[in-house]
Structures are given as C-alpha cells and as structure tokens.
Amino acid sequence: MSNPDTATPAKHKPLFRGVCASSITPFNADGTFALARLKPHIDWLIAEGVSAISPLGSSGEFAGMESDDRKRVMEASIEACAGRVPIVAGTHHVSTRLTIELSKHAESVGADALLIVPPYYMAPTPAQTMDHFRRIAEAVSIPVVLYHNIPLTGVNLRTSHLAQLFREGAIKGVKMSNAEPDRICSLLQETDGQLSVYAGIDSVAFEGLCHGAHGWISGIPSMVPAAAVKLYQAISVKGDLLAARQIWAKLAPLMRMQFSAYHNGGDGAHWFSVMKAGLNMIGPEVGDPSPPVLPLPAEFHETLATLLRDLGYDVQTKH
C-alpha cells in the first residue's frame, strides 16, 4: 500500500461535511425497477438541503441485486444527481473481486467517493478485512469510506485497525454504525480528527456530532433530511446545544420508532418499512420495499404521520 503522501490527488479530495442521504431504489409492485421515480426522489433530497447522496447504501437495497442491476441503479443515480452534490457510491459485495469491479465502475461513471461495508456473510477476520480494503484502494483513485456495521457483517474492526487503514491511505472515512457513541469519539481522537468520521446510526447521531463527527449518514437523514440538517447546523456549525436538544426532542421519537424492531430483537417496525412509508407520505412516491421486507403495517401509519407533522412536514397518506 502506498503512503498517503504519494497517493493520487483524487484520494486527497476532501470528503463532504454535513448530512448525507442514502437514496432509495424504487421498485414497481412486481419487483421490477421503477427508475423513472429515481430523479424526483433525488431532486427532493437535494431540495431538502443534503450535502451528499449515497446510492446503494443499505437504503438502496443493494444486497438483493445482481451486479449488473447495481450498475444500472448507480448510473441512473449519478445521472439524476448531475453533479449537484457529491456522490458517495455504495459498492459493497461479498467478495473482493466483485467489490473492486463495482468500485471501478462507480468511479468510471462519476462517483466522488465510495462507501463500502466489509464482505457480509463470510465474516472475514480483521486482518482479512483490512487486506480487502487495501486491495480496493489500490484499484481506484477516489476516496473510500468504510461502512462499519457489525450486526450485518459479523466484522468488528477496532479503532486501531481503522486508524491503521487510514494512515496507510486505504480509507479516508468511516461511517460508524455502532450504538456506542465512544466508538466515534475514540476514532476521532486516535486520528486527531483527520479521518472523516460519520454518525452511521441515528441513536448516536446527537452524541456523535457533539464529539465532532464530520457528518451523519443514516435513516433520519434519508427520510427527513431537512430536519437532520437543522440538527447538524445547530451542533456542528452554530454550537447551539440548547437548540440542538430541542430539535433532537422531536427527532428522537422518530428514531425510536424507526429502529424499534432492530433494537428490540424483532418486535416493532422494520427500519426500512418506516423509511419508505415516511418518504411516500412527504415526498415523491418511492414505492414499497422489496421482499422479504414488507410495507409498514397499517397500525404504525398514524403514529408515523404524527411524528412527521411534528417535524413540520406536510403529510399525505398515499397508502
């Protein structure tokens, strides 16, 4: 691995600061892609004030797609964005070979950076995972953001592992989807704030931003971006903790509803069902999740609508 001081200039391009929305992949009722819905969705996210967009993150349902389909969605997403905000492309896959293939494709069609979760299902060791990211970095010339998600990968890279990858030049950022706020804090401290660290799960967004995280990529930024931007501005730009607490008091109930099944071992609403239902209520139609994830049960709709109204959105119950 090359020293970061001699790496290509593109790898030294600053990553975004602020709120990044994970754009969804729209499907028709029969499971086929509804790519005509993609541009209105991305237009809406940008109008909400996001600093970046990440196609084919978890919210893009990448795990249920073949590589060619992922390439189609990535191309359509980059075309729809048209350079208005940076694209942080999700190019994760189960093998190093396929991840590199998708990463090189995303770079070739205009992605500004890559968001990559460790290979899932096979649960490689930390040493194997670090080698995976080194190989990706050698194959591309744009920055890599490592998506740290232990529950869905079985891979737990420690602060020392992540800092080492950063110092080698293999990664430039980390999306920390860990329920322990200190994972964000320790990573920022270990790298003197030079590594771009993003709050990657909403339950630690408030604390993570207070610790100095460079931004926020998760469910709330992808469903109610304008509200997420207000929290980011209050903490990271204005340093107004009192205002931030008031904003979080309205966002926290939505966070708890959205991740109720995730945090309660299956009881409650599925995070992605909540997200797509919410987007359908306040923005352009994005359709339903692709099975096995199902639409949000009717029993949750009114609660969700109330939470969205409390955040200042005009709610239309289209379903």
State the catalytic residues: 147, 175
Partnered with residue 52 across adjacent β-strands are 20
Residue with tokens 């980011």: 232
Separation between Cα atoms, residue 276 and residue 102, nearest integer Å? 25
Q: Of 315, 298, 297, which Cα lies nearest the Cα of 306?
A: 315
Q: Contact at 8 Å (CB) between 316 and 308?
A: no
Structure tokens at 191: 């790298």
Residue 99's closest CA among 118, 112, 126? 118
Measured N-to-C along each axis, helices 301-310 and 241-258 cross at an angle, to the nearest 10 degrees, of 170
**154-183: string of b/e by CB count within 10 Å (b at 16+)?**
ebebebebbbebbbbbbbbbbbbbbeebeb
Gap between the Cα atoms of 214 and 236, Å rounded: 8
Closest Cα to residue 153, out of 171, 136, 134, 128?
Answer: 128
Secondary structure element (H or E) that encloses residue 42, with its range: helix 38-47
Are the beta carbons of 168 and 136 closer than 8 angstroms? Answer: no
Alpha helices in 169-311 (DSSP H): 181-190, 205-211, 219-223, 225-232, 241-258, 260-263, 271-282, 301-310
